[in-house]
């Protein structure tokens, strides 16, 4: 599953929420949109586990994302620290209210 695509979908839906107010006050709706955007940023900015000993560093960690602390020989590729699972679960939950909108993918549903 592509978390970048899911995050982009969420951003589009939040933009639609800003344009089409519902039952909340406008201030409340904008606060909701800001909060969801903040959660998306928080999730996507979460880093993989990096330890001094490369054996305990997440296999998906890279210097580009996690910084210079990440060892060069850390190229196992898959996430074994839980970061990717957490990010995906958070994005799936944020997308759930938009399940009836065009562009939503059934595979994004939690536990799909």
Report the alpha-carbon distance of residue 22 to residue 16 in Å, rounded. 11
Give the Cα-Cα-Cα angle 101, 105, 106 (nearest 5 degrees).
105
Which tens digits make up the pLDDT trace of 51-63?
Answer: 887 778 888 888 7
At residue 25, the pLDDT reads 82
Give the 3-state secondary structure percentages of the chain, helix then strand then coil, rounded to 5.
Answer: 55, 0, 45
Helices (DSSP H) in 20-110: which residue ranges?
26-45, 63-66, 83-95
Query: What does residue 66 show for φ and ψ, rounded to 5 degrees?
Result: -95, -10
Which tens digits make up the pLDDT trace of 97-109?
Answer: 999 999 999 999 9
């Amino acid at each position: 599953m592509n978390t970048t695509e899911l995050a982009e979908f969420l951003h589009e839906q939040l933009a639609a929420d800003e344009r089409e107010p519902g039952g909340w006050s406008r201030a409340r709706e904008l606060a909701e949109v800001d909060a969801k955007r903040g959660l998306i940023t928080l999730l996507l900015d979460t880093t993989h586990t990096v330890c001094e000993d490369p054996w305990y560093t997440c296999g998906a960690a890279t210097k580009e994302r996690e910084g210079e602390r990440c060892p060069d020989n850390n190229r196992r590729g898959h996430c074994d620290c839980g970061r990717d699972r957490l990010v995906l679960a958070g994005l799936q939950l944020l997308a759930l209210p938009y399940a009836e909108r065009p562009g939503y993918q059934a595979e994004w549903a939690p536990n799909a």
